[in-house]
Amino acid sequence: MQRTNVAGSSISGFNDLLAEFDAVAGKAYVSTHELETSLRGLYSALFETGFANADPAEVAEAAPRLMHGLFAARMRMRDRIGEWKEAGLLARPAEIALRNVFRITRNASDMLGEVASGNARLAPGEKSARGFSGRNWNTLVHPAYADGRNIPFQSGDLLLMRGSAHNSAAIARIGDVDSQFSHIAIIYIDPNGQNWVVEALIEDGSVINTLEDVLHHGLGRAVLYRSKDPAVAARAAKLAYDRIHATKTGEARHIPYDFTMRLKGRRTLFCAKLVSQAYADATGGALQLPMFKTRFDKRNKAFFKSIGVRAKETFAPGDIDLDPRFDLVAEWQDYRLTPGLRRQDMVMTKFFEWMETRGYKFKETLFVTLIAVFGRLSSYLSDRSKALIASAMPKVPRNMSRACVATIVMLHKSAEEVMPALTALDEDSVKMTGFPLHPRDMLVHLEKLREVSGGQIGYLRGKV
């Protein structure tokens, strides 16, 4: 398929793309191969669409319409997942192609939102916005829920999120399918109307936080999902809240984070496992999440072992995006942060690609070993003591292995080594053209960097 550019005042490239998106979303398919082929073609068109020769002012003016058009088309496609699943059309290759379309569509929409927002960035000391707030195009609402008013949260709603740390980008891309999300949690509304978020965090294990605290916690993007069965959702939220609340009152033992990513067992929980068990408990085991699981690539066993992963497949946060038992109600992003998230995504895409296909591995040094050892020791200190040394040592839970701490440190520091050049290229593109650097150009730059690196990217080591 030929590369499409957004050309001139007609913005014809994106208009053609929207028409193609609608055609793929509305087509009647007779085989999984036909669906996969159509989705792959749409992905290629989305990936190759760019801003060459376009006027930034004209794109900025058209961006809100184009963004809402892309979102509406994606919702039409998402609303057909149940039908496609029932017809046996979503075999694994077609499922992955669908995930790829959703991911690249978010990238395209983000770039349009950034242009529409004047390519604004967070100023030094400026805080990120509260989730589901900001200008009209920060929040995109499913047409079925769009009535011009704010949508109230409900018990059992699921909140899919992405933070701004490199580790969040790694979590989003750790399985066999790339995602843009690193965390999922369930919302509970108590009898007094207080909104709570029940979640499992790497640092703290299973906890309960206020919804406002979570939405103010430096999110780059967030998506709200709602069960089609409100009674089941309410039971799931209440069970999750009561279960974790009991650990805070001393009625039950604290539930630490589950690094294995296995869905079985109740003594430890990771974020998606907490959600999965809440809905299973609410239905006597009838509703099992997710419908489509993330798998772990056998070619990268050493990395998974180092961070504690033992599962062959799991419920990754982004898997909820394909579950037809939940409506996607609204999607929010802070366009001052999405450029950085996109750069992180591309870095992690290449890191995992190099590990999987070129044999790159993290090589631990004495410096990393010391950080990992003292980081582990710090987990036994009081919270006050941890806060005093937080700038020098990682905050880790007691059940995080030394190898896991070391790997996370190496991952973070390796990403930090390549990010400045990638950020400079991205910002130069904005200054010279008015448009952010396209993801494909980021990938090209990172590959060139590897070629001249002598087989060393931060703590990643491999053959030249």
Radius of gyration of the chain from Cα atoms? 22
Q: What is the pLDDT of residue 6?
A: 47
Cβ–Cβ under 8 Å, residues 188 and 360? no
Angle between helix 32-48 and 439-451 (nearest 10): 80
What 8-state DSSP symbol labels residue 241? H
Strands 326-333 and 139-141: antiparallel
Candidates 202, 134, 133, 113; CA nearest to 165 is 202
* All CATH 3.90.1720.10 domain ranges in the chain, comma separated: 136-333
- Class assignment of domain 136-333? alpha beta
Residue type, 464: V
Q: What is the pLDDT of residue 165?
A: 76
Residue type, 415: A
- Residue 89 CA to its chain's centroid (Å): 25
Q: How many alpha carbons lie under 13 Å from residue 279 in its C-beta half-sphere?
A: 26
Task: List, as own/partner pairs, every contact residues 144-147 make where C-beta atoms lie below 8 angstroms and the sequence separation is at least 24, other chains included.
Answer: 144/327, 145/327, 145/329, 145/330
pLDDT (tens digit, 0 to 9) for every residue of the chain, 464 residues total?
334 454 443 477 788 889 999 999 999 999 999 999 999 999 999 998 888 778 999 999 999 999 999 999 999 999 999 999 999 999 999 999 999 999 999 999 999 999 999 999 988 888 888 999 887 689 999 999 998 888 899 999 999 999 877 778 888 888 888 899 999 999 999 999 999 999 999 989 999 999 999 999 889 999 999 999 999 999 999 999 999 999 999 999 999 999 999 999 999 999 999 999 999 999 999 999 999 999 987 777 888 899 999 999 999 999 999 999 999 999 999 999 999 999 999 999 999 999 999 999 999 999 888 888 887 777 776 666 555 555 445 567 889 899 998 898 899 999 999 999 999 999 999 999 999 999 999 999 999 999 999 999 999 999 76
Cβ–Cβ under 8 Å, residues 351 and 414? yes
Q: What is the pTM of this model?
A: 0.93
